[in-house]
Structure 1
Amino acid sequence: MRQVLVVGLGGDIGTYAFQRAAHERFGWPSLVVGPRVTTFGRHSTLARWIIEPDIFTPETLLARLDAIAAEHPDHDLLLFTNLDWHVRVLAEHRERLDPRWIVPFPSLAAFDLVSSKVAFAQACDQVGIRTPFTVAVSFGDAAAVGPADAVAQLRERDLAYPLIGKPSNSADWFAIEFPGKQKIHHFESEAELVDVLAHLEERGYPSEFLVQEFVPGDETHMRSLTAYRDRAGQVTLVAGGQVLLEEHTPGTLGIPAAILTGVDREAFDQAARLLDHIAYEGFANFDYKVSSRTGEKVFFEANPRIGRNNFYVTASGVNVAEVLARDLLPAHVDGAPAPLSPERDVLYSVVPYRFLLRYLLDPGLRARVRTAKRRHGVHHPLRYRGDASLKRRLWVRSVDLRLVSKYLQHYPRPTESGF
């Protein structure tokens, strides 16, 4: 049986969490290729870093992967990333890679379907999944809905502000810059919306920008869902949880910072139905919200990757690296198959526990969080006994404190909307 080398691209916290899971379960070593050592990799011994400043040029990336393959002739090479741009490039150029590369990502067609929020909403409609009312704004196409027409449609619909603005294609959003750009825009007025649309039109933004109704409820009404569908067409993992707190800096707005895991069978079945409908393969990460007004579940998007917060799945009892290995590296897995959904309620958090509690206003939710913490502790992806030198532990502690300072700057107290 050949050795396995896990090669991560970019080095975000989601890639670290997967490499931790692979090391914990199998002892597999890791490399990370990135333009610099990230916050999450600083003082870590889990992975060896290869600094490649030009990692976002396809030819440079492919050449670097060829070099890694040549340096490890006796390994199976498991390629992993949590960036949409890399997922798309790998889907486009999969045939050019050494056949030993294991690339656990969807086909280009499936990637395009889920990474376009317009196509995603259409697919959801076909299988009976509710998505928010959306106006897709295009730029430079006379036949499509332009900025002025979009504003007129929103007036006719008489949607109340706030409204949500987000890119249809996250890879295109990654490449554009303009004053006030955020990961997700929260428009309090029509003037704010018009200003962002003007910036995008001025820059000839190549894909659609979505303006959506705001589903009522604060961020504790948000849910995260992680799924895996294997090469045989079986959904072998569906896991999820209630978001307790999201990140609030402009570049990370909306990313879950704390999750209380749990089973939502209705939503799990909906996600599996969609993945079957589009013949998806690999990990997918869904965001949906439970309306505080109606209680209905509204799906916002599916990311064609595992997601930054994937450690909540491993922490709740199903190791994400094992899920992948059962599909693509079965010789490394013995014993009975893992459960489809983890049943253990655990607290995942990258913010200090006592600081998290200040944002939980619902007494019932606070009690559930306290119970989970008492039973199973707090699960933080960067706190790993296998990567716990004194310097690393002090660094992770400093990262926690910096995150607290960012909340005090950008979101000092909880609000009804989460903004």
Structure 2
Amino acid sequence: MTLRKQKPNEDFIPIVLSADIGAYSMARSFAEEWSVRPVILTYKQILGPIANSKLFDVIVVKPNQITNPASEYPLIDYLLENVGELKNRYPGKKLVICPEADSHVFGLAENHEVLARNYLFQVPSVELLDATNSKVAFAKIAEQNNIPCPTTIDFYLTDGLEHILELFVNSATAFPIVLKPAASYGYEGLKFPGKAKVYFIDNMEQLKKILKLLIKETSGHPDANHFVIQQRILGDDTYNFHVMCYVNSEGKTAFSVSSHLLLEDHNPTAVGNPAALITESFPNLTAPAIRFLEGLNWRGFANFDIKVDPQDGKAYFFEVNPRIGRSNYYSTAAGMNPMRVFIDDLVYDRRYLVPTRQRKVLYSILPEPLVVLYTRGKLRRQVLKLVARRRTANPLSSPAEREFSLRYLRRWFYVTASTWKHILKYHRYFPLSKARELGGGDYVPSSNLGKES
């Protein structure tokens, strides 16, 4: 069965968890496909990406609305404790939960039996999440499936500095390396000076300094002290790729989409998040991703981070994330709205495999001149061509938001400011000189990319 444009309907209400760009992107995709007004559920505050939008309703959960304000899953607790209120608010509607963060996925999985009585959602089992959410576990399973991964050393910060350094030395892994949490869940909630999502380390002195900081700051947080060291695959941002999949209720990968990254976010707390990319089909990257997911009997969305080694052209898979990903709108922009197959699976019991017919689009949360500046050669010409043809997409800039109103003026100001302030961020964290040192921003993948996988 092939994918078709569905008629507008209001049989269901999407409840999107979170308040960032990824949440707005999902809500926008819903609003563009159906005559339905999504709901965004956020804890304590309305963040900039969802503020002053007319595409959806926002429910701000206050601490006094849940039994345990200190809960690690406040939004999940709200869903559990306020199902009657939501049903009264949306009578006769099927309530569909759309998680956007790892913690939401874990919360849904751990409370699956109770939540499934009143809500529709699709996430992997707790056992599968535990087996794959660690980068170490992922590397082992990927190896069994003949999927290349970088050398990975895992350890707990509670093992002590000397033991960790001994493990590293004995592994014979050479600098440069990457140090990062084995699983983002647990670590993502911590706040401390010097915190980064990923630590790039060039020598032993840096490694000792960062380990000492992490040992101190994660003390007393058992869910945040499992880390890994991986060999760093060289090459600039243009050697990175992204694959997103959806596995339906029958265990079949009904949907897969891929993209070529141009620039990542280089802010320490968001490093690695896609900032600009070109949507493009890479069958030799999606095939091993599908093999991995179906071999584990996966359910729901998943996304993979991949990088090509400039030295041998080999594509290395770094991890699987059990969620749709914050840059999910690139798929909708490419003509493959992921919410369609998701809703058909859960709400209408219609299952099919979506053919890969991606439009080539420049997806970017950055000013287009900045993307042009950081790319070169044939890749820059591709960017300029897409800009000239207006085949571009900023997830926050929905044409449906436009109207003559104070609300829209406020939203326009936020989106414009958040887009152009990236110039200062890149100047601070990733100046053009550094980008050129890493490679030049001119890598154009060949048609057989990832064939070794």
The two structures have a TM-score, normalised by structure 1, of 0.92
Q: Aligned AA for 1:349?
A: S
1:380 paired to 2:394 = yes
Q: Give, in angstroms, the shift of residue 411 of structure 1.
A: 1.7
1:152 maps to 166
Change (3 A) 1:98 1:222: closer
2:185 maps to 171
1:397 maps to 416
Q: Give, in angstroms, the shift of residue 105 of structure 1.
A: 1.7
Change (3 A) 1:66 1:301: farther
1:39 maps to 48
Change (3 A) 1:195 1:280: same
1:23 maps to 31
Q: Give, in angstroms, the shift of residue 140 of structure 1.
A: 3.2
1:284-321 deviation line (CA, Å, top 9, x unaligned): 01000011111001000111000011111111111111
- Counterpart pick for 1:350 among 353, 365, 375: 365
1:44-98 deviation line (CA, Å, top 9, x unaligned): 1112222224477236433245532343231101111211111101110122226
Q: Does the 8 Å contact 1:46/1:387 carry over to 2?
A: yes
Instruction: Give the match's secondary structure for 1:314.
Output: helix
Q: Aligned AA for 1:355?
A: L
1:161 maps to 175
User: Using the alignment, how far apart are the partners of 2:419 and 2:113 within structure 1?
Assistant: 41
Q: Give, in angstroms, the shift of residue 215 of structure 1.
A: 0.6
Q: Give, in angstroms, the shift of residue 395 of structure 1.
A: 2.5
1:315 paired to 2:333 = yes
Q: Does the 8 Å contact 1:168/1:209 carry over to 2?
A: yes
Change (3 A) 1:341 1:376: farther
Instruction: Give the match's secondary structure for 2:235.
Output: coil
1:10 maps to 18
Q: Aligned AA for 2:16?
A: G
User: Using the alignment, how far apart are the partners of 1:313 and 1:394 within structure 2?
Assistant: 26
User: Using the alignment, how far apart are the partners of 2:391 and 2:236 within structure 1?
Assistant: 25
Q: Does the 8 Å contact 2:261/2:278 carry over to 1?
A: yes
Q: Does the 8 Å contact 1:313/1:342 carry over to 2?
A: no
User: Using the alignment, how far apart are the partners of 1:65 and 1:408 within structure 2?
Assistant: 47
User: Using the alignment, how far apart are the partners of 2:95 and 2:70 within structure 1?
Assistant: 20
- Counterpart pick for 1:244 among 240, 256, 262: 262
1:265-289 deviation line (CA, Å, top 9, x unaligned): 1111000000011110111010000
Instruction: Give the match's secondary structure for 2:46.
Output: coil
Instruction: Give the match's secondary structure for 1:166.
Output: strand
1:410 maps to 429
Q: Which moved more, 1:48-57 or 1:162-171?
A: 48-57
Change (3 A) 1:158 1:330: same
Sequence identity percentage: 29
- Counterpart pick for 1:228 among 228, 232, 246: 246
Change (3 A) 1:2 1:258: closer
Q: Which moved more, 1:213-222 or 1:366-375?
A: 366-375
1:291 maps to 309
Instruction: Give the match's secondary structure for 1:283.
Output: strand
Change (3 A) 1:251 1:64: farther
1:186 paired to 2:200 = yes
2:445 maps to none
1:256 paired to 2:270 = no
Q: Give, in angstroms, the shift of residue 337 of structure 1.
A: 5.6
- Where do 5+ consecutive residues of structure 2 fail to align? 1-8, 64-68, 441-453
Q: Aligned AA for 2:202?
A: E
User: Using the alignment, how far apart are the partners of 1:310 and 1:418 within structure 2?
Assistant: 27
Q: Give, in angstroms, the shift of residue 11 of structure 1.
A: 1.3
Q: Aligned AA for 2:266?
A: H
Matches within 5 A, 1:105-124: 105-124=123-142
Change (3 A) 1:189 1:53: farther
Q: Aligned AA for 2:204?
A: E
User: Using the alignment, how far apart are the partners of 2:133 and 2:70 within structure 1?
Assistant: 18
User: Using the alignment, how far apart are the partners of 2:284 and 2:87 within structure 1?
Assistant: 43
Q: Does the 8 Å contact 1:18/1:311 carry over to 2?
A: yes
Instruction: Give the match's secondary structure for 1:405.
Output: helix
Instruction: Give the match's secondary structure for 2:249.
Output: coil
Change (3 A) 1:376 1:329: farther
Change (3 A) 1:374 1:26: same
Q: Aligned AA for 1:197?
A: L
Q: Which moved more, 1:46-55 or 1:302-311?
A: 46-55
Q: Aligned AA for 2:354?
A: P
1:352-389 deviation line (CA, Å, top 9, x unaligned): 1111111113x011112222333352111111122224
2:155 maps to 137
Change (3 A) 1:168 1:175: same
1:211-260 deviation line (CA, Å, top 9, x unaligned): 11001111110001101111111111111111000111111111000111
- Where do 5+ consecutive residues of structure 1 fail to align? none
Q: Give, in angstroms, the shift of residue 10 of structure 1.
A: 1.5
Q: Which moved more, 1:180-189 or 1:55-64?
A: 55-64
The two structures have a TM-score, normalised by structure 2, of 0.85
User: Using the alignment, how far apart are the partners of 2:167 and 2:394 within structure 1?
Assistant: 44
1:359 paired to 2:367 = no
Q: Aligned AA for 1:174?
A: E
Q: Give, in angstroms, the shift of residue 418 of structure 1.
A: 8.2
Change (3 A) 1:108 1:283: same
User: Using the alignment, how far apart are the partners of 1:28 and 1:121 within structure 2?
Assistant: 40
Matches within 5 A, 1:96-111: 96-97=114-115, 99-111=117-129
